């Protein structure tokens, strides 16, 4: 064997160089077009070719726009694009799902929406610098302080307007999501209906409570008279704006959406709405009971 190699050293080197060149050419030209088939065969969870094409087009649109000054454009560099464009979360979220609203609305301030919880880690190369920039310093290693709701100081909370003469309303926004479900951009109609049913069951369990018990109003099929009354009470709002629409957060409207308020809606009410976050809370008067219930 050694004699053969010595006698044919020159041709073998040439063959090696040619073979390496062919391999490099296949990797650079043929493989990208076959990538989807290759990864599908081996069961790798990757974005399809059409989605990747839309991501490339979106990147060019952002870079060519002189009117766009969003955090998305600032941090969506070519290297970030190439690193993330083929990735997909277990629930199906892609880079295009994240950036689509910011690309359609070039006047966006931020321009991104997470389609599910995993997106924050799967697409961290884009989310981390945007979050850090938005908050003026909250890097990937930063952590929130330990949760403390002041349960041991509830007795110190006093009703600031016990007779209801001065405080018309107080807004406390509490955004929560359902474990095991994606966020709005990826929710199906069945997801909305199932989630609504779960929340309605919780509200039904409050019927015996004189303070928290109330009525749930599904938006789907709501009568005109009820709509007018809730709008007059400033309880009912329209579907999301153009930013949410382009993020697919308005899909299947109004299925699975609704509001709930307690019997004393003039002084205390809760507002339930599946929109970009699944729950919102509005209160007036004494808030202590609803916060710690």
Percent of the chain with pLDDT over 90: 35
CA-based nearest residue to 34, from 91, 42, 54: 42
Rounded to whole angstroms, the Cα distance separating 142 from 145 reads: 10
For 105-142, write each residue's pLDDT tens digit: 999 999 999 999 999 999 999 999 999 999 999 988 88
| pLDDT value at residue 7 | 58
Q: Would the pLDDT of 287 be above 60?
A: no
In this prediction, residue 179 has a pLDDT band, given cuts at 50, 70 and 90, of confident
For 265-278, write each residue's pLDDT tens digit: 643 444 455 555 55
Name, in order, each residue with C-beta under 8 angstroms of 276's C-beta and a sequence gap of 6 or more: 113, 183, 184, 240, 244, 247, 249
For 44-95, write each residue's pLDDT tens digit: 557 788 999 999 999 999 999 999 999 999 999 999 999 999 999 999 999 9
Give binding residues as ranges. Answer: 169-173, 234
Rounded to whole angstroms, the Cα distance separating 7 from 17 reads: 18
Q: Would the pLDDT of 291 be above 60?
A: no
Give binding residues for ATP as ranges. Answer: 169-173, 234
Q: Are 139 and 124 spatial neighbours (Cβ–Cβ below 8 Å)? A: no
Altogether, the residues listed in the chain come to a count of 293
Inter-residue long-range contacts of 31-37, CB under 8 Å, 24+ positions, other chains counted: 35/86
| pLDDT value at residue 75 | 98
């Amino acid at each position: 064997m050694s004699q053969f190699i010595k006698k044919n050293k020159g041709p073998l080197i040439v063959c090696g160089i040619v073979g390496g060149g062919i391999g490099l050419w296949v990797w650079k030209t043929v493989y990208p077009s076959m990538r989807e088939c290759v990864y599908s065969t081996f069961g790798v969870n990757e974005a399809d070719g059409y989605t990747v094409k839309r991501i490339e087009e979106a990147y060019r649109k952002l870079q060519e726009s002189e009117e766009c000054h969003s955090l998305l454009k600032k941090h969506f560099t070519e290297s970030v694009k190439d690193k993330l464009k083929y990735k997909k979360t277990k629930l199906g979220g892609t880079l295009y799902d994240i950036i689509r609203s910011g690309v359609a609305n070039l006047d966006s301030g931020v321009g991104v929406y997470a389609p599910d919880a995993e997106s924050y880690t799967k697409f961290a190369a884009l989310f981390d610098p945007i979050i850090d920039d938005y908050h003026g310093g909250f890097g990937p290693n930063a952590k929130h302080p330990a949760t403390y709701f002041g349960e041991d100081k509830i007795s110190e909370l006093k009703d600031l307007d016990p007779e209801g003469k001065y405080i018309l309303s107080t807004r406390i926004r509490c955004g929560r999501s359902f474990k095991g479900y994606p966020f709005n951009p990826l929710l199906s109609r069945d997801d909305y209906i199932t989630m609504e049913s779960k929340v309605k069951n919780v509200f039904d369990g409050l019927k015996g409570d004189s303070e928290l018990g109330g009525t749930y109003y599904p938006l789907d099929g709501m009568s005109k008279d009820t709509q007018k009354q809730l709008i007059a009470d400033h309880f009912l709002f329209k579907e999301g704006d153009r930013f949410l629409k382009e993020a697919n957060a308005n899909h299947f409207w109004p299925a699975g959406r609704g509001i709930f308020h307690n019997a004393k809606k003039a002084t205390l009410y809760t507002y339930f709405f599946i929109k970009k976050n699944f729950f919102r809370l509005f209160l007036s008067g004494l808030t202590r009971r609803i916060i710690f219930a």
